[in-house]
Structure 1
Amino acid sequence: MEHISKYLTPEIKLSCYEDKFFKSEIVFDQHMLIWFISGETKIVQAEATHHFKTGDIFLIPRNKPATIINYPKDGLPHKTVVMLLTTKILRSFYNRLEVKTEIIPVPRIRSFHHHPLLESCLASLIPYFDLKDPFPDNLAFLKITEAISILRSIDPKIDSMLANFDDPHKVDLISFMEKNYMFNMPTEKFGYLTGRSLTTFKRDFKKAFNTTPQKWLTQNRLELAHYQLAERNKKPVDVCYETGFENLSHFSFAFKKQFGYPPTDLLEQKANSQYLT
């Protein structure tokens, strides 16, 4: 995979993927503001699937599980400007303000398609990526605070996300897992996002589901995969990456072990039955 990242600072980078696609399951530790120069991205979350393409600008909230699939498009690479709105910078920004807002426990992705102010702010960074000298930290701080100020001016409710510095609180384990099992994260991360230590998470999980996290996750991912193949007519490669499996060969092996036939057989059976009717 050809992946090139040019960093102005640890918070600002130009990211480029040349290959057919790149997929990862991730929970961002910081809010991430992204401007698309070229390519496409599919972001699968518990509540919805989002598609972004050239010109789109969107903000991904921290501590929110997601499957991210990046594609080149029209012969151009997947290329983005990425700006991290770190907790440190946001605390510094909001310390100067008196903000009273309702904190939203499950923030959603914010989309700002072709917004001129945000696009101008992020596009102004492009020439700096070719500089040989280090990018001044004070200028980077100014550009990030400019972006935060623009976000606040165009989205009055954005403070509910950006001004919330709390770690995840202890949440209902069954509800959380049933909404987020398709994300391929370490057990430690599931524990953190449910407000538990690893030991407490495993103990509570055993009590709730009477099995281990790995066995339960695999079973539920395979059942979801079977549903998407049989009822939604999705391709095995898409199902594989949207249900938390590492790669297509691992998915096919686990699927056949569980159901007695590979994913491709299920599609052929469905196609034949439709043909006969």
Structure 2
Amino acid sequence: MQYEAKYITDDIKLSCYEDSFFKSDIVFEHHMLIWFISGETKIVQADATYTFKEGDIFLIPRNQLSTIINYPKDGKPHKTVVMHLTTARLRDFYTDLDVKDTTAELQKIFHFSNHPLLASCLSSLIPYFEMKNIPGDIASLKITEAISILRVIDKRIDNLLANFEEPGKIDLAGYMEKNFMFNLPLEKFSYLTGRSLTTFKRDFGKIFNTTPQRWLTQKRLELAHYQFTEKQKRPIDVCYETGFENLSHFSYAFKKHYGYSPTELLTQIRC
């Protein structure tokens, strides 16, 4: 995979993928404001799937499980400007503002399409990626400008950006049933359910009477089988949308479990 990233600071980068695609299951530590220059991204979450392309601007909330698949498109690389809205910076921004009774916003992606104010703010960053010795306050001013614009164009945004709560202990069974398709370390699942890794494994065993890894594999294979039989999706799409790392491992695990390969199943269905 040919990947290039240029930074103004750690919180603002120009990201470019040249190859056919890049896929990752991830939980973002910070809110991410992203502007598409070219290419396409598919974001798969527990409750929805989003597709973003050239000109789109979107905000991904922190601590949210997502499968990210980046594609080049129309002969152009996957190229984006990415701005991290860190908790520390947001605390500073909201310190002197009279924002009361903020409640956690639904963990969804905010889509702003090609909004002129945000597009102008983010596109103005492009020349800085080619410069050296950029004054430190430039990035800070640009991030402050972006936050201010977000607050103007969507009045709900304070409920997300001004909420600094960390994940608390939540219903483990419900959370895992909703998010098992994301291929993340158990440490991430334990954090997002408000537990230490030891407590997570102990609680998991009491609820499901098996190990997390065995349960996750079983659930992912069951979802894959459903995707084939009910939706007749391609093996490559099912592989990446059900939490497997690569097609060969997925095909092997599927055949070992069911006795036939994904291709054999699809051939049978279509006959």
TM above 0.5: yes
Aligned to 1:246: 245
- Within the alignment, does 1:215 sit opposite 2:209 as a pair? no
Aligned to 1:275: none
> Alpha-carbon deviation of 1:166?
1.1
CA contact (8 A) 1:33 1:84 kept: yes
CA contact (8 A) 1:31 1:60 kept: yes
Aligned to 1:43: 43
Distance 1:82 1:242 in 2: 24
Aligned to 1:229: 228
Aligned to 2:83: 83
Distance 1:102 1:256 in 2: 49
Q: Which runs of 5+ in 1 are unaligned?
A: 273-277
Distance 1:236 1:136 in 2: 49
Q: Secondary structure at the match of 1:217?
A: helix
- Give the counterpart letter for 1:184 in structure 2: N
Distance 2:179 2:65 in 1: 7
Q: Deviations over 1:83-105 (max 9, x none)?
A: 00001110100111121144126
Q: Secondary structure at the match of 2:25?
A: strand
CA contact (8 A) 1:9 1:135 kept: no
Distance 2:107 2:48 in 1: 12
Describe the shift of the 1:101–1:50 C-alpha distance in structure 2 as closer, same or farther (beyond 3 A).
farther
Aligned to 1:22: 22
Q: Secondary structure at the match of 1:156?
A: coil
RMSD: 0.8
CA contact (8 A) 1:25 1:183 kept: yes
CA contact (8 A) 1:168 1:192 kept: yes
Distance 2:213 2:174 in 1: 17
Q: Which runs of 5+ in 2 are unaligned?
A: none
Residue identity (%) = 69
Distance 1:106 1:253 in 2: 38
> Alpha-carbon deviation of 1:120?
0.2
Q: Secondary structure at the match of 2:215?
A: helix
Q: Deviations over 1:44-86 (max 9, x none)?
A: 0011000000000000000000000000000000000000000
Provide runs of 4+ in structure 1 moved above 6 Å.
none
CA contact (8 A) 1:36 1:53 kept: yes
- Give the counterpart letter for 2:157 in structure 1: I
Aligned to 1:120: 120
Q: Secondary structure at the match of 1:5?
A: strand
- Within the alignment, does 1:9 sit opposite 2:9 as a pair? yes
TM-score, normalising length from structure 1? 0.97
CA contact (8 A) 2:35 2:82 kept: yes
CA contact (8 A) 2:102 2:162 kept: no
Matches within 5 A, 1:189-200: 189-200=188-199
Distance 1:19 1:167 in 2: 36
Q: Secondary structure at the match of 1:205?
A: helix
- Give the counterpart letter for 2:178 in structure 1: K
Q: Secondary structure at the match of 1:201?
A: helix
Describe the shift of the 1:143–1:89 C-alpha distance in structure 2 as closer, same or farther (beyond 3 A).
same
CA contact (8 A) 1:8 1:134 kept: no
Q: Secondary structure at the match of 1:159?
A: helix
Distance 1:181 1:204 in 2: 16
Q: Secondary structure at the match of 1:103?
A: coil
CA contact (8 A) 2:23 2:67 kept: yes
CA contact (8 A) 1:16 1:79 kept: yes
